[in-house]
Copies of this chain bind each other. A is one copy, B any other.
Amino acid sequence: MRFTLRQLQVFLATAHHQNISRAAESLAMSQSAASGALSDLESRYNAQLFDRVGKRLQLNAQGYALRPLAESLMDEANEVEAVLEQRGIAGKLKVGATLTIGNYIAIPIIARFKQEFPDVDLRMHVANTEHIASEVLQFDMDIGLIEGEYSHPDLLVEPWQDDELQVFCSPNHPFASLASLDDKQLKSVPWILREQGSGTRQTFDRAMHGLLNDLDIHLEFEHTEAIKRAVEAGLGLGCLSRITLADAFKRGSLVPLDVKHRDMGRQFYFVTHKKKFQSRALLSWLETCRQLSDS
């Protein structure tokens, strides 16, 4: 073995920041040491990991090939260190989730996980599917919990649990007492929906296929609470994941509506990087997720 873990750390930090100085800073070492470590790694193997265009460090093909392996190696080195330090399951775990999942489903999971594994430094970041996928790809996030379908050669996308959208209105709405709605009725009223690009909207659009151009999309919000309040105020019909509506239905502040011949089903997925080492913290997180969605 003619490289050191330190050199790999420098390589990874540099790939991350695309900047030696900030990489050095993040590793609490001098810029010269980082520069030296990197060029040492390269010259030892007669390899170019970065293309130096001016003072810019651009990861090249070989560096690109190295990155996932190096990342995985460092994760594993952390596990080794955990055993050496006789720590239990500990470490950092960066989880990304979409709005619906992060605000509703993830909350009880986080509670349970923190209780079972208090030594894991868990960070949850809420963003849209695409953003989460790209962070997982960049190794900036350990796992993503997403709604929309997403596929990429380097990503492992695993179905996790089923979900269904639910059309709803205020109790005072004329539709509130109807047994079910047909296409004509759907076209006759204003809608209040999540914005384009969200997983919820994606599913809605698919479910309303063929009808989409005729629908009156009155308002778009980026948050489920805003939509619920707008619908409550009688501004129109809404369509959101059942999970976000359970409370409102129980209280009677909103009313579920049955829609004919429209499939509102969808799935939530785990998304991870294929080349990433599966740390014990990550495996425990997955385990906790699965346990709580079975019950």
Decide if A72 is an interface residue (CB 8 Å cutoff): yes
Whether A3 lies near B81 (C-beta < 8 A) is yes
Q: A4-B4, A76-B76 are in contact. Are A69 and B47 (CB under 8 A)?
A: no
- The segment from A83-91, A240-248, A254-262 found at the interface with B is A83-91
Checking B9, B41, B72, B84 against A3 with a beta-carbon cut-off of 8 angstroms, the contacting residue is B84
**A66 vs B82: C-alpha distance in the bound complex, in angstroms?**
9
Decide if A80 is an interface residue (CB 8 Å cutoff): yes
Whether B77 lies near A73 (C-beta < 8 A) is yes
User: Using Cβ atoms and an 8 Å threshold, which residues of chain B touch A86?
Assistant: 47, 62
Copies in the complex: 2
Question: Could you name 27 residue pairs across A and B whose Cβ atoms are closer than 8 Å?
Answer: A1-B5, A1-B9, A1-B78, A3-B5, A3-B84, A5-B5, A8-B80, A41-B84, A45-B81, A45-B84, A47-B84, A47-B85, A47-B86, A62-B86, A65-B83, A66-B80, A66-B83, A66-B84, A69-B76, A69-B79, A69-B80, A69-B83, A72-B76, A73-B76, A73-B80, A76-B76, A76-B277
Residues of chain A having any CB pair with chain B under 8 Å: 1-6, 8-9, 41, 45, 47, 62, 65-66, 69-70, 72-74, 76-81, 83-86, 277
